[in-house]
Amino acid sequence: MKDTDLVGVQKTLSPVLKAKALDNRLPDPILGDEYAEQAMRRLDPGYDKRRFGTSQMGLAAVVRTKAHDDWARSFLADHPDAVVLHLGCGLDARVYRIDPPAIVDWYDLDYPSVIELRRQFLPPREHYTLIDSSVTDLTWLERIPRGRPVLVIAEGLVPYLTETDVRRLLTSVVEPSPRAKYSSTRCRSGRGASRNGIPRCANTAPSSTAASTTRRSRPIGTRGSNTSTRRRCSTRRC
């Protein structure tokens, strides 16, 4: 599959991957992501021959990713038995950069065409699962373990979801989990929302939503309302 086979929001993965690949070619890289460079070379062998290498938006995307990496490492240091849900993962090699302990169960989710590319470009590892699904089809949550700390990473994903979709997602993840945290970025929408294919959320810091629930939870993946979750989401504009 070529990058031209990707459609819609899936095409945003290429500019972001390119920024990470170019970063890895620097003498002192921010991420040092060799997997990004290898994958980008397969997608576009001449990716590093164009002026994108000096893009400020590309640099900001790398800085944003580093902030999410550091936040994830901090969470996993406190919760080494956590479940990680990396939503809209694209070709990001976060699980390899962080290299979590074996007791962490990590799930990368994206559209089937993107997951197919991940299987081609990135190696398998233990306690690591790929889910080829739209994030809004919450049946995928039936595959996720319950009763453990949950880290949800949705870097750059939220702008492509409706407010209703975000609330349903947060409610479905938070309610069954004793300790859940959510990391995302807020981005512009409408005219001027992106440059070089990178959404203008690249320079925003991670935000988080934490919840602890003691009442009986609904089964994971089911619809429902949670007033406190909706309030937090609304006040944080997620």
pTM of the model: 0.74
pLDDT of residue 12: 66
Write the pLDDT tens digit of every residue in 11-33.
667 888 989 999 999 999 999 99
CB atoms within 10 A of CB 175: 21
Given a cut of 70, whether residue 223 has pLDDT beyond it is: no
Question: Is the pLDDT confidence value at 237 over 50?
Answer: no
Condensed to tens digits (0 to 9), the pLDDT of residues 93-152 reads: 999 999 999 999 999 999 999 999 999 999 999 999 999 999 999 999 999 998 899 999
Per DSSP, the three-state class of 184 is: strand
For residue 209, give the nearest of 151, 125, 126, 133 by alpha carbon.
151
Torsion of CA 62, 66, 68, 74, to 10 degrees: 180
Task: Name residue, tokens 């919450």.
Answer: 138
Q: Which of 199, 167, 171, 172 is nearest to 185 (CA)?
A: 199
pLDDT digits over 208-217, tens only? Answer: 444 332 233 3
Give the pLDDT band (50/70/90) at residue 43: confident
What's the CATH code, domain 66-235? Answer: 3.40.50.150
Burial of 98: CB neighbours in 10 Å, binned 0-12, 13-18, 19+: middle
CA distances from 220 to 62, 145, 227 (A): 33, 9, 17
Interval 156-172: pLDDT, tens: 888 888 999 999 988 88
Express each pLDDT in 50-103 by its tens digit.
665 446 667 888 999 999 999 999 999 999 999 999 999 999 999 999 999 999
Tokens representing residue 85 in the block: 């849900």
